[in-house]
Every structure is written in structure tokens, then in C-alpha cells.
Amino acid sequence: MYKEQIELAKEHFAKILERELARVERMKSDTEVVDFSNLPKTIIGIVGGDGIGPFIAEQTQKVLEHLLHEKIANGKIELRVIEGLTIENRIAKMQAIPDDVLAQLKECHLILKGPTTTPAKGDGMPNIESANVAMRREFDLFANVRPVKVPQLGIDWVFFRENTEGEYILGSQGIEVTPDLAIDFKATTTQGSERIIRAAFEYARKNGKNRVTVVTKANVVKTTDGKFLEIAAEVAKDYPEITWDDWYIDIMTAKLLDESRRTDFQVMVMPNLYGDILTDEAAQLQGGVGTAGSANIGNKHAMFEAIHGSAPRMVAEGRAKYADPSSLIRAAAMMLEHMGLQTEAKNLQMALEICGQFERNVVLTGRADGATNDQYTDYILETLNDPNLAQKYESYMK
């Protein structure tokens, strides 16, 4: 029975295996790492995306132009706006990232990207892969770094989400073997696991953190998550000064809400999908996904984005101008850090925290009873320009 369907599925699976094994070989030979703090000229591509994306990207560009104006004026940095990564254009070309857009992105060292719409089954749009997922894969941006900080609650977490494997890498390549049987694939490699786990431990070492927590579901998803956990145990041996522990994703989501335990966590590392879920939960504690930024780091490129989607509902209801730009501005701060511009990055982070968590003179609600994103960005800029910024921040931290 179903002989023909099984044969077709086998052929499909064989192709997947060939591609994945080729990817493993590419990872093995990809050892050269670009130092982004040491480029003669840095080109930053700014991609608006869809929905609220162009609105918050415009505000973020304003902040970058302010902080980098000297370097832009003397040609050390170029902000290059790249159009065309919209759902309409992607559907017209039937490509996750249209070729001409991809070619332009490849000319940039760093990318700052607004959210892009991802078609889902049943929404009437064609099955186009997520532009985020495609970009992460295309540029091999394996480390998705997502910090969440709520000083009043003693929360200071950095999530290292594996960004190129797991359920995601083959997310658009599942098969409906018969109308009754759908199969998706999850892929985990030694190289892919090792590089993200090592990135987490390196970060801990460089930033004076003494604990790394590995999150899997290795008790059930034994082969792939089991590999991830096994590799974590190996990598941890190179970092004897750092304590490490492992948790399953279900209890981990509970522990992030446990006031007596959650402040113990520092650096967390996990496969792709668990990181997707856990970081939304964590961001909610900080004030919502609209407040959280994210770095997607690879050996040769890096892309910085908000952790949320394009919020089409806000646009449909005419509320795009009330969307919180903090997420993307926070991502810009991470980008400045990645470029070695530590002072600019630190100042921007302090201003974001003062505006969003402590002072709150201008407040966004996502609706007309709150500030517009333009007003909020001006508030951030004003705070940045305060000559007593650092003292102000310290006084709140006491």
C-alpha cells in the first residue's frame, strides 16, 4: 500500500540528506571570522520590511544618524537603505528574499532589518519561507543573541538561540506523504551545535558570567537534542571556571516565572525552536516583545532585528505610528557593540532603559492614547543628549 507515495517521500528525504551533508562540509571549512570593529569602511544595510517595519526602521535610522554622524560624514560608515523586502514583492517574485535584494544585502557588512511577514498555512498567501529564516541561513548567521534585562526584578539574561538548524532549517521542506500523513524534519549537527554552545561560553567568559544553562528536551527528542546536550558537556570542559547545568524546555518556561529562582540564570543556550519560544516569554517580562532586540551573528555577516513580527493588525487598524521602536533601536545598540563602538552602544542602552523602564516621561501604548514612535524616538534622543546620562542611569540602578 502507498508504495508510490513512500518512494516519492524517500526521494525527497534523500535530497534533504544530500543538502544537509553538504552544509556540514561547508561549516567544517568555514573558519575565517571577520572582525567588524576593524573595517576601513562599514556598510550598514537598512531594510524596512513589512507592516510596522518601515515605521520603526525609520526611527532607528534617525538614532543611528545621530550617533554616527561624524563617521557617516567622513565616509567610515554608510547607511544604505535597501528596498524590496516586502511581502508583496516576495510573492510577486515567489522568493523568500528576491535575488536582486539578496545581491544588495550581500554588499553590506551589517544589516539592520525591520520585521517581515511570514505566510502561514491557511492564510491565503503562497508558501514562501520566512525572510528571517532565509537570511539567517543564506548568511549562516548561527548565533541569535537575545538579551533581556529587568533591573528592578534582578533579571539579567542573555539567550543564545541556535539560529540555523533544528526545526527551522527544513521547516519549508516537510512532506505530506499522503493526505493523512504530514512529516516535518528536525536537523542537528555536531558543528552547528558546537559553534552556538561555544559562543555562549565565550560570551560568559568575556563578560564575567559564571553560569551557562543549556535548554533542550533531550528526554523525549533524544537524537537531535541528545546530541546538543552531549556536545554541551564536551564544550563545557574547556570552561572550567563556568558552572553549567541543563534544563528541559518545559520546566525552563516555568522557572523564568519563578521569582525565587529566575535571578540565578545568566547565559542560556538552546536549539532554535526552544529559543524562539523562551525569548518571547522572557521579553514579556521586560515589557513585551516590542522592547526586545536581537543579534544574528555569523562569521562573515551579522543582522540585527526586533524579536517580533510585522504586526499587520496594527497597520490595518491605522496604529502603525504608535508601534514601539525600542526593539529595533535596541538591536541597533547591539550592532554598535558588534562594531566595537562600545561608548555609543552603552549610551544608547542606558537611554533605552531610562526611557522604557525608569523615567517613562513618554509612554507608548500601541494606541492613540500613547505616544507616536516619532515622539518616543525624540525622547530617546533627548535622553541620549543629556550630559548627565551616566549619572542619571546610575541613580536609577541604586
Interaction site with ligand IPM (CB under 6 A): 118, 130, 132-133, 276, 307, 309
Nearer to ligand IPM, 148 or 355 (CB): 148
Question: Does residue 167 belong to the site contacting Mg ion (CB under 5 A)?
Answer: no
CB of 163 vs Mg ion, minimal distance in Å: 11
Nearer to ligand IPM, 133 or 341 (CB): 133
CB of 323 vs Mg ion, minimal distance in Å: 17
CB of 138 vs ligand IPM, minimal distance in Å: 14
Do strands 302-306 and 181-183 pair parallel, antiparallel, or not at all (unpaired)? unpaired
The binder of 63, among Mg ion, ligand IPM, none, by C-beta within 5 to 8 A per type, is none
The binder of 334, among Mg ion, ligand IPM, none, by C-beta within 5 to 8 A per type, is none
Half-sphere exposure of 189 (CA within 13 A, CB side): 19
Residue span binding Mg ion (CB under 5 A) among the ranges 42-50, 122-130, 274-282, 389-397: 274-282
Nearer to ligand IPM, 118 or 193 (CB): 118
Nearer to ligand IPM, 87 or 364 (CB): 87
- Nearest to 179, CA basis, from 11, 4, 3, 5: 5
- Out of 276, 324, 337, 344, the residue judged to bind Mg ion by CB under 5 A: 276
The binder of 309, among ligand IPM, Mg ion, none, by C-beta within 5 to 8 A per type, is ligand IPM
CB of 204 vs Mg ion, minimal distance in Å: 23
Listed in sequence order, the residues at least 6 apart from 396 whose beta carbon sits closer than 8 Å to its beta carbon are 151, 353, 354, 357, 358, 359
Nearer to ligand IPM, 307 or 314 (CB): 307
Enumerate residues 329-388 that contact Mg ion by CB under 5 A.
Answer: none
Nearer to ligand IPM, 288 or 340 (CB): 288
CB of 228 vs Mg ion, minimal distance in Å: 19
